[in-house]
Chain A
Amino acid sequence: MRDLMPGQQRWVAALAETPLKAVDVLDTEAPPESQWKEAWKRLRRNPLFWMSSVLLALLAVVLAVPGLFTDADPTFCQLSDSLANGRAGHPFGFDKQGCDVWSRTLYGARASVLVGVLTTLLVATIGIVTGAIAGFYGTFPDSIVSRLGDIFFAIPLLLAAIVTLSIFNNLNPDRGFWGGCLAIVFTLALFAWPQITRQMRASVLQVKNLEFVDAAKAIGASPRVNLLRHVVPNSLAPVIVTSMISLGVFITTEATLSFLGLGLPSSVVSWGNDISAAQNLVRSGQDLSVMFVPASALAITVLAFILLGDAVRDALDPKAGKS
């Protein structure tokens, strides 16, 4: 043995300073907490979440009782009021047809948000079901779903919607409120599902190889039970986030289609229709507020959903994104 070098003599810490703890003790003090509870805790700490929640809560109130914020009827229009400036009870004035701008914006939220929410629900349902089947069973079902998805994925959403909706319009120009909304919902869902399907499939492929799935198989759980009880619940998080963000995208797409005159029938009060009607005014520089109010409402709503999606993603997957 070589001589001990300075500073390397045998040294033992006093036991009082380094008390020995039992190996692997369970902390029984803290209350039990599931993953969801932990995610909720993280979500609560995020200012983005509160900002978007306040906006969305406000939006919900507008949707439920728009009459709270205005006494004017959005469909009561007098040409004598055409492009009149704001006055008591009509804060943002009137559009070219003499309808109250503020009232139309408040009532127009219904159609836009309804289209966004319904499309998202439909797309998520189709995507989750097809993605789960493709990812879990593989082989033949996977080939069908994936190739079909590839085909639809290759078609630009807006272009496909324009073509499909112009066919609808030719068949039945005035479909009323529900008919108009549902036509857009089905059209968008038809071309938008592959995104969620792909994500769900990838997520399922990852989860189905985890050991707890094998453990359930070894217990004797059937593939279907395994898929529904273990694989799908553990694969949903990324799909939830994408759905929230795409909700905003669907609202914008509806507005774009209505702007182009292909979305909701002109009889339906909606942001897209109002923006479309106001475009000439902006071009000729006559009145900016007629477009500004519905456009802002649209932007704020979409922003609120996207912010919420971001906040939820940070809460579900704290390691991704910020350091």
Chain B
Amino acid sequence: MSERQPLLEVRDLDVAFRVNKQDVPAVRGANLTVHPGQTVAIVGESGSGKSTMAHAIIGLLPGTGHVTGGEILFEGKDIATARKKDIVALRGASIGLVPQDPMSNLNPMWRVGSQIKESLKANGIASGKVADRRVVELLEEAGLPEAQRRARQFPHEFSGGMRQRALIAMGLAARPKLLIADEPTSALDVTVQKQILDHLDTLTDELGVAVLLITHDLGLAAERADHLVVMYKGRIVESGPALEILQDPHHPYTQRLVASAPSLASQRLSSLEHRAEVREQAQRSAVQVAAVGDEAGAPPDDVITVQNLSKVFRLPGSSPFRKTDFLAVDDVSFSLRRGTTTAIVGESGSGKSTVARMVLGLLEPTSGTVTFDGVDVSDIGSRADKLALRRRMQPVFQNPYASLDPMYSVYRSIEEPLRTHDIGSSKEREARVRDLLEKVSLPASVMRRFPNELSGGQRQRVAIARALALEPEVVICDEAVSALDVLVQAQILTLLNDLQAELGLSYLFITHDLAVVRQIADDVLVMQNGKVVEAAPVETVFESPREDYTRALLDAIPGGSIPLGVVEAGDDLPRRGLDD
């Protein structure tokens, strides 16, 4: 039975951090088994203890972290209690690590090749000329073209994906038996993520390396791993064969995760008929408002129309006083129908956020027009009219940690738009703030708190309340849910959806995540390198995409191809695990 000897076995592991002379547990009673050549994934939200567990295995717990109980058996030997020297010998040679952030994990002062050579030397594998040759081989193996030249470059000359490949080459340099990959692709665009994970899969298969994959993305884990471990608040709640867990989750937390994962669920949050009602309602109230005013004719069906919008940034060029033009947005046109959501999807550098900023009037377009409710925004001259336009269009930004002034209490943050526009007495404003907090499902007691006391999701709710304070018709969400954990993200998406139905809002939704788009959008605009690649209703984009790029984006959604809703079939499957 020697082949059935597990490579790594974690038994009843407890890890704690010392805070103010007390042990605060981070991982409790965790069990985990990895066999040679297998891919095992640990899935959990931020703070679930998944990274702590990985760091405990490789003996790199940060700060005051330490193992307080249980054992970590690597090839039968306990490394939790091993001497420091033995663990150092194990690191690199037997257990490799691919760290999370490719931007900060390479030394910017060293050539990439030298950094990989360092790991060869440290593990006593090769040195000198032999090592140089080996470095090039390793980089080639990790899928970097022109490895010879690349090895002599510095990290800043590499893109995020290339850096991650270099880190993979480093992790595999000493041919370890186990590779720990801690969120190896969470900082990368989806298409790059797919390429890198595909490559890592084939590489570790060829080399027979076992992989312990740490990720927050259930879809990705299920797609890549044989065995899945789900962690929640420092404990493992469920483990077993990946597909089985996904298709038939037992623990309520796993059920919740499966239900919320956008890559897996991916259906419009509300039905089509309901959507049509919302739209009609929004149009009706717009007509009423127009009738009260003296404007002639009914307002247009499209609340925002963008025509031939372009933006050129002038960047420092090759010599002093020379500037080069960078075309960030290239001839973009679209419209946002009243009461609906138009999503702009694209990877980093696609120009999607620049479009949002131009629509918001935070950035001057180089050419093209933005029309709001039939009026060209650039024609509005007086400050009073500009303020009036501001009231009708509000943003919600990406970073929940930067979108609220840390010096302002929640009350002041939400009240600020009202005060800026001189709305109501202070009593009325307070009543309005209470009302807004209720709309975003936060207790009124949160008013006196400050952003530093709130979680990311709660801050985003406050930001939404602030955006709604002026009763806008259009809300522009720039990656508004991208920084949130899946469950919180699902909550905020539901909230946005409910608010749209209740208030007849129109959303311009900027995101990099196509999976989220299916949950919230009616129309989709796919952008690449500043241009619109494809524009169509959401069903068309998902069911019959016309462009290759859109297809590539769809393919890259992790776990998108895993069939779900086979719960009954899953129940009929023989439980092989039980009679093994």
Residues in chain A within 8 A of chain B (CB atoms): 1-13, 15, 17-18, 20-21, 23-24, 26-28, 30, 32-35, 38, 210-212, 214-221, 225, 230, 233-234, 323
Q: How far is the CA of A1 from the CA of B580 in the complex (A)?
A: 14
Establish whether residues A26 and B443, one from each chain, have CB atoms under 8 Å apart when the complex forms. yes
Contacts of B361 in A (CB 8 A): 218
Q: How far is the CA of A171 from the CA of B487 in the complex (A)?
A: 75
Q: How far is the CA of A217 from the CA of B362 in the complex (A)?
A: 7
A218-B390, A220-B390 in contact; A212/B235 too (CB < 8 A)? Answer: no
Chain A residue nearest to B260 (CB atoms) is A23
Establish whether residues A24 and B488, one from each chain, have CB atoms under 8 Å apart when the complex forms. yes
Contacts of B386 in A (CB 8 A): 220
Q: How far is the CA of A230 from the CA of B466 in the complex (A)?
A: 15
Contacts of A230 in B (CB 8 A): 405, 407
Establish whether residues A215 and B33, one from each chain, have CB atoms under 8 Å apart when the complex forms. no
Q: How far is the CA of A20 from the CA of B237 in the complex (A)?
A: 10
A1-B241, A6-B33, A33-B453 in contact; A234/B387 too (CB < 8 A)? Answer: no
Q: Mark B224-252, 1 if CB is under 8 A from A, else 0.
A: 00110000110111111101110000111
12 A-B residue pairs with CB within 8 Å: A3-B580, A4-B577, A5-B6, A9-B240, A9-B578, A10-B241, A32-B449, A211-B399, A212-B403, A216-B416, A218-B362, A323-B63
Establish whether residues B450 and A33, one from each chain, have CB atoms under 8 Å apart when the complex forms. yes
Establish whether residues B360 and A218, one from each chain, have CB atoms under 8 Å apart when the complex forms. yes
Q: How far is the CA of A176 from the CA of B555 in the complex (A)?
A: 82
Chain B residue nearest to A24 (CB atoms) is B457
Contacts of A32 in B (CB 8 A): 409, 448-450, 453
Beyond A18-B237, A219-B417, 18 extra complex contacts between A and B, CB < 8 Å:
A7-B31, A8-B240, A10-B250, A10-B578, A11-B239, A13-B238, A15-B251, A21-B233, A24-B487, A28-B446, A32-B453, A211-B397, A211-B398, A212-B402, A214-B362, A215-B397, A219-B394, A219-B420
A-B residue pairs, 7 tightest by C-beta: A7-B33, A10-B240, A9-B577, A220-B390, A211-B397, A211-B403, A12-B250
Q: How far is the CA of A158 from the CA of B562 in the complex (A)?
A: 73
In B439-472, the 8 Å CB interface with A consists of: 442-443, 445-446, 448-450, 452-455, 457-458, 463, 466, 470
Contacts of A12 in B (CB 8 A): 237-238, 250-251
Q: How far is the CA of A12 from the CA of B253 in the complex (A)?
A: 11
Nearest chain A CB to B239's CB is how many angstroms away?
Answer: 5
Nearest chain A CB to B313's CB is how many angstroms away?
Answer: 15
Nearest chain A CB to B183's CB is how many angstroms away?
Answer: 21
Establish whether residues A17 and B395, one from each chain, have CB atoms under 8 Å apart when the complex forms. no
Contacts of A8 in B (CB 8 A): 33, 35, 227, 239-241, 577
Contacts of B129 in A (CB 8 A): none
Chain B residue nearest to A28 (CB atoms) is B445
Chain A residue nearest to B29 (CB atoms) is A17
Instruction: Give the contacting residue for A215; candidates B226, B395, B421, B455; CB below 8 A.
Output: B395
Any chain A CB within 8 A of the CB of B127?
A: no
A6-B4, A15-B251, A26-B443 in contact; A220/B63 too (CB < 8 A)? Answer: no
Nearest chain B CB to A320's CB is how many angstroms away?
Answer: 15
Contacts of A34 in B (CB 8 A): 407, 409, 450, 452
Establish whether residues A214 and B395, one from each chain, have CB atoms under 8 Å apart when the complex forms. yes
Establish whether residues A5 and B402, one from each chain, have CB atoms under 8 Å apart when the complex forms. no
Q: How far is the CA of A7 from the CA of B362 in the complex (A)?
A: 57
Q: Mark B487-514, 1 if CB is under 8 A from A, else 0.
A: 1100100000000000000000000000
Instruction: Give the contacting residue for A6; candidates B6, B237, B578; CB below 8 A.
Output: B6
Establish whether residues A4 and B403, one from each chain, have CB atoms under 8 Å apart when the complex forms. no
Chain B residue nearest to A212 (CB atoms) is B405
Nearest chain B CB to A219's CB is how many angstroms away?
Answer: 4
Instruction: Give the contacting residue for A234; candidates B391, B407, B455; CB below 8 A.
Output: B407
Any chain A CB within 8 A of the CB of B575?
A: yes
Establish whether residues B454 and A26, one from each chain, have CB atoms under 8 Å apart when the complex forms. yes
Contacts of B263 in A (CB 8 A): none
Q: How far is the CA of A214 from the CA of B252 in the complex (A)?
A: 40
Q: How far is the CA of A3 from the CA of B580 in the complex (A)?
A: 9
Nearest chain B CB to A237's CB is how many angstroms away?
Answer: 10
Dominant secondary structure of chain B at its interface with chain A: mixed
Establish whether residues A1 and B395, one from each chain, have CB atoms under 8 Å apart when the complex forms. no
Nearest chain B CB to A6's CB is how many angstroms away?
Answer: 6
Contacts of B226 in A (CB 8 A): 2
Instruction: Give the contacting residue for A30; candidates B394, B453, B575; CB below 8 A.
Output: B453
Any chain A CB within 8 A of the CB of B217?
A: no
Nearest chain A CB to B42's CB is how many angstroms away?
Answer: 13
Contacts of B237 in A (CB 8 A): 12-13, 18
Establish whether residues A220 and B240, one from each chain, have CB atoms under 8 Å apart when the complex forms. no
Establish whether residues A11 and B446, one from each chain, have CB atoms under 8 Å apart when the complex forms. no
Establish whether residues B580 and A9, one from each chain, have CB atoms under 8 Å apart when the complex forms. yes
A10-B240, A218-B394 in contact; A35/B253 too (CB < 8 A)? Answer: no
Establish whether residues B575 and A10, one from each chain, have CB atoms under 8 Å apart when the complex forms. yes
Instruction: Give the contacting residue for B252; candidates A5, A20, A215, A233; CB below 8 A.
Output: A20
Contacts of B446 in A (CB 8 A): 26, 28
Any chain A CB within 8 A of the CB of B274?
A: no
In B8-40, the 8 Å CB interface with A consists of: 9, 31, 33, 35, 38
Nearest chain A CB to B40's CB is how many angstroms away?
Answer: 8
Contacts of B349 in A (CB 8 A): none
Q: How far is the CA of A3 from the CA of B442 in the complex (A)?
A: 49
Instruction: Give the contacting residue for B458; candidates A4, A5, A26, A211; CB below 8 A.
Output: A26
Establish whether residues B397 and A214, one from each chain, have CB atoms under 8 Å apart when the complex forms. yes
Any chain A CB within 8 A of the CB of B576?
A: yes
Contacts of B405 in A (CB 8 A): 212, 216, 230, 234
Establish whether residues B235 and A13, one from each chain, have CB atoms under 8 Å apart when the complex forms. yes
Contacts of A1 in B (CB 8 A): 241, 243, 576
Chain B residue nearest to A38 (CB atoms) is B452
Any chain A CB within 8 A of the CB of B404?
A: yes
Contacts of B357 in A (CB 8 A): 214
Establish whether residues A23 and B417, one from each chain, have CB atoms under 8 Å apart when the complex forms. no
Chain B residue nearest to A30 (CB atoms) is B453
In B529-580, the 8 Å CB interface with A consists of: 575-578, 580
